[in-house]
């Protein structure tokens, strides 16, 4: 935290100490008089924040310029040498499944064999969109007919809170989302198993299994194994959509590992029940990376056949750029440590504010992620929208409350996603001071009302 310059708050330290001191008290043990006093002090502090004309943004789940700089060597790395393993002209059309050296590198990231992967363009979201689209409308080739052919509304399970773009893919394609709880070890598997057994029109489940967006959850080995068995419980053509977006995105070397789901599927004979996705969007350039999809050979055959109707091949030159730059698993690991060095201090400052300002107050809970891009924060039930609004009015932009739930509806109105990767340390420090104040103010007011 030594990089951090003192923050130029417009109120004095004595005022702050007073606020922090009183707030270590538990909300539910405070008398009405105490609550009124707190409200006055917090409202005063809030007005000072508001008057200071802040313009801060904690919404953006994307790499900072400092992180993107780490990959700038990519732009010059090819030189005149476009030689490659397949000894083909990468500049030309073709090669729908990507170049072999890229497959080998990212198959390890996804935990699949070198012939169980396809390397795409700059967006894994596009691969996921196509995967859902083809499954819904065209089917799985020799593996099975389309979901639509069953004549019922297709349904997906959505562990919540989750990633809004997964939800919007389903909404766009007319697929109904059924929320299930995301516990500390992954989706509530009792609920998941019960649901898929009861309703064969449930055809998929969205998973971000390591450093889940936004909760930072790493699925336990047991949960991974139970997910690998879903293909046996579920109706025909069920697929687990395994978006391993943060597969190598830990903040430290001792972050928990994720079990290899393809291995578990092989053990259970359910290899065809899983689609695995990933990309370098948060490894190299968010807008100019490469994406990949891992799946059984049967799935890959059907998926490629459909994908080939919409394109002749991906940008293989950019794939070569990536292999030259990242080299191998060791090169990738070293590169990700450089990312962690940029990201971790940002997470530390978010957590410092939450711990110092809100621990043991009974006002909030949050995760302390060991990787990924987010801190997931829960207010008391019913307060997320108010906190987001209070913060916005004081110049601190937060992801809209509800965004982490299907149809934007958080039934408890409590979850807020904090994204600290883009702002500077100082900006995060200022924004989090405001955020903590807003949470306290909203909580005290709710208690008083």
| Positions that interact with its own copies (CB under 8 A) | 62-63, 65, 68, 71-72, 75-76, 78-80, 82, 89-95, 121-123, 125-126, 129-130, 133, 137-138, 165, 168-169, 172-174, 281, 285-288, 306, 309-318
Minimal distance, residue 86 CB to its own copies, in Å: 13
Residues 6+ apart with CB under 8 A from 449: none
Q: Are 195 and 157 in contact (CB under 8 A)?
A: yes
Which of 399, 404, 403 lies closest to 387, judged by CA?
399
Which of 356, 362, 342, 368 lies closest to 432, judged by CA?
356
C-beta closer to its own copies: residue 120 or 187: 120
Q: Are 25 and 362 in contact (CB under 8 A)?
A: no
C-beta closer to its own copies: residue 79 or 151: 79
C-beta closer to its own copies: residue 226 or 335: 335
Rounded Cα gap, residues 396 and 259, in angstroms: 38
Element (H, E) at 182: strand 176-183
Q: Are 279 and 289 in contact (CB under 8 A)?
A: yes
Minimal distance, residue 129 CB to its own copies, in Å: 4
C-beta closer to its own copies: residue 76 or 198: 76
C-beta closer to its own copies: residue 175 or 390: 175
C-beta closer to its own copies: residue 220 or 291: 291
Minimal distance, residue 186 CB to its own copies, in Å: 26
Minimal distance, residue 128 CB to its own copies, in Å: 8
Minimal distance, residue 418 CB to its own copies, in Å: 18
Element (H, E) at 23: helix 13-23
The total of other beta-carbon atoms located within 10 Å of residue 13's CB is 8
Minimal distance, residue 287 CB to its own copies, in Å: 5
- The single-letter DSSP state of residue 53 is T
Q: Are 290 and 318 in contact (CB under 8 A)?
A: yes
Minimal distance, residue 172 CB to its own copies, in Å: 4
**Would you give the distance in Å from CA 366 to the centre of its chain?**
15
C-beta closer to its own copies: residue 53 or 79: 79
The total of other beta-carbon atoms located within 10 Å of residue 118's CB is 21
């Amino acid at each position: 935290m030594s990089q951090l310059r003192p923050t130029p708050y417009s109120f004095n330290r004595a005022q702050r100490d007073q606020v922090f001191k009183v707030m270590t008290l538990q909300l539910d043990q405070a008398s009405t008089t105490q609550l009124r006093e707190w409200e006055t002090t917090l409202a005063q502090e809030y007005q000072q924040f508001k008057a200071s004309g802040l313009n801060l943004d904690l919404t953006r789940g994307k790499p900072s310029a400092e992180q993107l700089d780490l990959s700038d060597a990519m732009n010059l790395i090819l030189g005149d040498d476009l030689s490659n393993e397949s000894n083909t002209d990468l500049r030309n059309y073709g090669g729908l499944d990507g170049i072999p050296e890229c497959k080998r590198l990212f198959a390890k990231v996804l935990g699949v064999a070198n012939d169980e992967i396809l390397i795409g363009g700059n967006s894994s979201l596009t691969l996921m969109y196509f995967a859902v689209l083809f499954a819904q409308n065209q089917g799985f080739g020799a593996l099975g007919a389309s979901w639509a052919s069953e004549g019922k509304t297709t349904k997906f399970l959505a562990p919540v809170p989750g990633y809004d773009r997964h939800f919007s893919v389903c909404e766009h394609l007319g697929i109904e989302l059924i929320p299930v709880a995301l516990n500390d070890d992954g989706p509530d598997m009792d609920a998941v198993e019960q649901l898929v057994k009861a309703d064969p029109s449930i055809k998929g489940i969205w998973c971000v299994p390591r450093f889940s967006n936004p909760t930072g959850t790493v699925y336990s080995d047991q949960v991974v194994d139970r997910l690998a068995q879903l293909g046996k419980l579920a109706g025909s053509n069920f697929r687990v959509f395994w978006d391993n977006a943060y597969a190598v995105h830990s903040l430290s070397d001792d972050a928990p590992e994720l079990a290899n789901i393809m291995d578990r599927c092989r053990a259970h004979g359910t290899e065809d029940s899983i689609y695995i996705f990933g990309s370098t969007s948060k490894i190299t350039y968010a807008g100019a990376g490469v994406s990949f999809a891992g799946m059984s050979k049967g799935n890959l055959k059907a998926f490629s056949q459909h994908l080939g109707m919409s394109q002749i091949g991906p940008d293989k030159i950019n794939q070569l750029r990536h292999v030259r730059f990242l080299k191998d698993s060791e090169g990738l690991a070293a590169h990700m440590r450089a990312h962690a060095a940029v990201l971790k201090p940002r997470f530390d400052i978010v957590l410092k504010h939450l711990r110092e300002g809100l621990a043991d107050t009974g006002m909030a809970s949050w995760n302390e992620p060991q990787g990924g891009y987010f801190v997931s924060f829960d207010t008391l039930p019913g307060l997320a929208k108010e906190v987001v609004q209070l913060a916005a009015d004081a110049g601190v932009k937060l992801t809209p409350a509800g965004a982490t739930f299907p149809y934007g509806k958080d039934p408890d109105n409590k979850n807020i996603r904090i994204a600290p990767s883009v702002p500077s340390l100082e900006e995060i420090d200022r924004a989090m001071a405001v955020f903590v104040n807003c949470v306290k103010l909203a909580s005290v007011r709710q208690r008083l009302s």
